[in-house]
Amino acid sequence: MAGGKIRKEKAKAPSNHYQGGISFHKSKGQHILKNPLLVDSIVQKAGIKSTDVILEIGPGTGNLTKKLLEAGKEVIAVELDSRMVLELQRRFQGTPYSNRLKVIQGDVLKTELPRFDICVANIPYQISSPLTFKLLFHPTSFRCAVIMYQREFAMRLVAQPGDNLYCRLSVNTQLYARVSHLLKVGKNNFRPPPKVDSSVVRIEPRKPQPQVNKKEWDGFLRVCFIRKNKTLGSIFRQKSVLLMLEKNFKTLQAVLASLNGSTGEAAGMDLGDQSMGMEDDDNEMDDDDDVEMDEGQGGEFKEKVMNVLKEGGFEEKRSSKLSQQEFLYLLSLFNKSGIHFS
Residues in the annotated binding site for S-adenosyl-L-methionine: 31, 33, 58, 79, 107, 122
Q: How far apart are CA 77 and CA 88, in angstroms?
A: 9
Q: Which of 169, 170, 176 is nearest to 211 (CA)?
A: 176
Q: Which residues are annotated as a binding site?
A: 31, 33, 58, 79, 107, 122
Q: How many CA atoms lie within 13 A of 11 on its CB side?
A: 3
What does the buried/exposed string (b/e) look like for 306-331 if buried means 16 or more CB atoms within 10 Å of the residue's CB? bebbeebebbebbbbebeeebbbebb
Alpha carbons within 13 angstroms on the beta-carbon side of residue 37 total 3
Query: What Cα–Cα distance (Å) separates residue 217 from each residue in 70, 231, 341?
Result: 41, 19, 8
Strand, helix or coil for residue 314: coil
1, amino acid identity: M
Q: How many CB atoms lie within 10 A of CB 258?
A: 16
**Count of beta carbons in the 10 Å neighbourhood of residue 142:** 21
Q: Output phi, psi for 2, to 5 deg.
A: -65, 135
Q: Which helix (H) or strand (E) holds 83?
A: helix 82-92
